[in-house]
Amino acid sequence: MPEEAPAVQNWRLLIVACVLGLVVMVVYNLHISKVRRESQKEQVTAFRYDRNLDSGDVVADEDLIRVKIPRDFAESIGRLLEEDEKDTLAVNQKISRDVSKDDFAMAGHFTMIGQTGPAYDLDQDKVQITIPVDSKKAPGRVLRIGNHVNILGMLPTKQGTYKMYRIIEWLKVVAIGGQTDRRAASGSGSRNTAESGVRSYSTITVEVNRREPDVSLQWGNLQTYLRGPAVIEICPSRFRPKKGTDGVIAAELMEFTRKAATVSTGGFEEGSY
């Protein structure tokens, strides 16, 4: 049989190369699109203030800067102003509290009938509880509303002694000594003095889960064994415990919450922990 001309063979190789190149390009573009979609799922839109605003100021469109933040971080902050709420809830509306430049815009910052106050900012699966703290060991003005804290306390051991335990990590502080915003907490309407925090207090109010698990009830049961008020640690703002350990009673202490319903408050069941 006569051999194919070299020109014909070259054309066939060129066509095969073009087809392979097209396949590679399509696969690559599909992969890039998938990565971008997954990345966008992990990010949510939020807004920061572009200037300081006082309670009663009217918010302009240019006062809100759109930013992208990780979804986990957004959920830890609270009820953020959502993108589809910006024009109806925030723009040309009066702000209901003092805010500083770069603060995140929250839905509760804007006055709407029946939709104001700390309770409106709460997630449906959370409640706020007040925890007595040792005023002599409290961090004073260092603690600010919005910080996250660890709760420590003295609990009994099997040997009959007491030991300090880190009971719950990473709880969001929503009130200090009963004060729920920076201006009220400082006792002054001045933004500068409001930043100084509260000097002395014996309680803090924090957000906890009320289902899966019900940390509110677990904490109430555990208090049966707690000696004296709690001690608090302020968490670094850029640190969060490993998922699954934040906001829940420490696993090693769950025995206290289980026995609280059956053991009298007068004593600790021998050999329990």
Task: State the Cα–Cα distance between residues 57 and 96, nearest whole angstrom.
Answer: 8
Which residue is listed with tokens 């200037």?
Answer: 51
What's the domain range around 143? 126-259
Q: How many domains is the chain built from?
A: 2
Shared-domain flag, residues 148 and 214:
yes
Q: What does each C-alpha distance from 137 to 33, 142, 203, 247, 250 come to in angstroms?
A: 53, 12, 12, 22, 22
Chain mean pLDDT for the chain:
79
Shared-domain flag, residues 70 and 155:
no
In a domain, 8, yes or no: no
pLDDT at 103: 92
pLDDT in tens, 242-265: 776 778 899 888 888 777 656 544
- Secondary structure of 61-89 as H, E, C letters: HHHEEEEEEEHHHHHHHCCECCHHHHHHH
Answer yes or no: is pLDDT of 233 > 90: yes
Shared-domain flag, residues 143 and 231:
yes
88-92, 122-126, 206-210: which range is least confident on average?
A: 122-126
In a domain, 74, yes or no: yes
pLDDT at 183: 45
pLDDT in tens, 18-68: 878 887 788 777 777 766 665 555 788 999 999 999 888 899 999 999 999
Average pLDDT of the segment spanning 200-208: 91
pLDDT at 193: 34
Shared-domain flag, residues 148 and 105:
no
Number of neighbours of residue 182 by Cβ within 10 angstroms: 23
Tokens standing for residue 144: 């600010």
* pLDDT category of residue 231 using cuts at 50, 70 and 90: very high
